[in-house]
Amino acid sequence: MDAKRAEVNGTAISYYDEGQGDPIVLIHGFCGSKDYWQQVIPGLAEKHRLIAVDLPGHGGSGLPAGDISVETMAEMIKGIFEELGLEKVSLIGHSLGGYVTLAFAEAYEDRLKQFSLVHSTANPDSEEGKKGRGVAAGKIDAEGIKSFVDGLVPNLFASGEKHPEELQQAKEIGYGTNPEGAKAALKAMKRRPDRNHVLKNTKLPVLIVAGEKDQIVPPEKSFTVVGPNIMQVTIKGAGHMSMYEAPAELVEVFADFWRSKQA
């Protein structure tokens, strides 16, 4: 896949644009990139146009000056919509990308057909979680991004022994994260508000995907709101990285969701 670049509010944003059909925008998680979706895009691009975006300071995207927030990131995603002439899309966010998706749904719901949260939560950070963000930022300063990623990535997988190549791929992607971008994202996640009201109030179709063995966002933290418009799916055996651990199953989950909403 060939990466493309767009200028959004003065910041270079890198993205993939594959396939044809109804547009789907994919947003990766913390210390990830658009490459997180490489095993998912081919299956989805058979019937859809897939746009996978690098968040600021991640992958091939630049980092704007000053503080950034999940709301800032959502605004930049909207800038990609404008750049590509997209009116309404289906939005999929993994982990941090899910926080951005919820912020987008709150601010720009009229630009969405539906949205999906993958290994993410509408809850804010707990006090313990907020302290952990600060510890993580300190580790990046003290030891560098490579050491930090080496400690982070194995915890994202339910069992690294089952996916050694994928685990290493996720590490290599993480090494490419701008250290300042990682610290900015940590601060943004720490400050994000409770957005359960977005799930409660939206009339849009919503898909929430959890991993049975997710150590970062367990299913009970993903499935915080129920409703007739909300589909909840648990992928058995998966941790926080079903796009690597069970990509074919994840593609089928998306396909089932979209088919059910067209019926």
pLDDT digits (tens, 9 = 90+) for 48-86: 999 999 999 999 999 999 889 999 999 999 999 999 999
Q: What are phi and psi of 53, to 5 degrees?
A: -110, 140
pLDDT over threshold 90, residue 184: yes
What was the pLDDT predicted at 52?
98
pLDDT, averaged across the chain:
96
Cβ proximity of 100 and 55 under 8 Å: yes
In angstroms, rounded to a whole number, what is the distance separating the alpha carbons of residues 227 and 205?
Answer: 10
Q: Determine what percent of the chain is predicted with pLDDT higher than 70.
A: 99
Q: What DSSP assignment string belongs to 207-218?
A: EEEEETT-SSS-
Cα separation of 105 and 99, whole Å? 10
Which pLDDT belongs to residue 159? 82
pLDDT band at 236 (very low <50, low <70, confident <90, very high): very high
Query: pLDDT per residue over 185-230, tens digit each?
Result: 999 999 999 999 999 999 999 999 999 999 999 999 999 999 999 9
- Strand ranges inside 175-256, DSSP E: 206-211, 230-235
**Number of helices (H), then strands (E), in the chain:** 11, 8
| pLDDT tier, 103 (very low <50, low <70, confident <90, very high otherwise) | very high
Q: Report the alpha-carbon distance of residue 91 to residue 87 in Å, rounded.
A: 12
Mean pLDDT of 14-24: 95
Question: Regarding the domain with residue range 4-262, which homologous superfamily does it belong to in the CATH classification?
Answer: Alpha/Beta hydrolase fold, catalytic domain (3.40.50.1820)
Measure the CA–CA gap between 7 and 203, rounded to whole angstroms: 32
117-137, pLDDT tens digit by residue?
999 999 999 999 999 999 999
φ/ψ of 224, rounded to 5, equals -95, -15
Cβ–Cβ < 8 Å for 190, 68: no
For the stretch 145-154, pLDDT in tens is 999 999 999 9
The pLDDT value recorded for residue 160 is 73
pLDDT at 261: 67
pLDDT (0 to 100) of residue 106? 98
* Residue 117 in tokens: 């949260």
- Buried b / exposed e across 75-98, counting CB within 10 Å, b at 16+? bbbbbbbeebeeeebbbbbbbbbb
Expressed in percent and rounded to 5, the helix, strand and coil fractions of the chain are 50, 20, 35
**pLDDT of res. 108:** 98
Check if the beta carbon of residue 110 is closer than 8 Å to that of residue 178.
no
- Give backbone dihedrals phi and psi of 125, rounded to 5 degrees, phi first: -65, 140
**pTM of the entire structure?**
0.97
The position carrying tokens 């990285």 is: 241
**At 246, phi and psi to the nearest 5?**
-150, 60
pLDDT at 263: 47
C-alpha distance from residue 104 to each of 8, 89, 93, 230 (Å): 16, 12, 10, 17
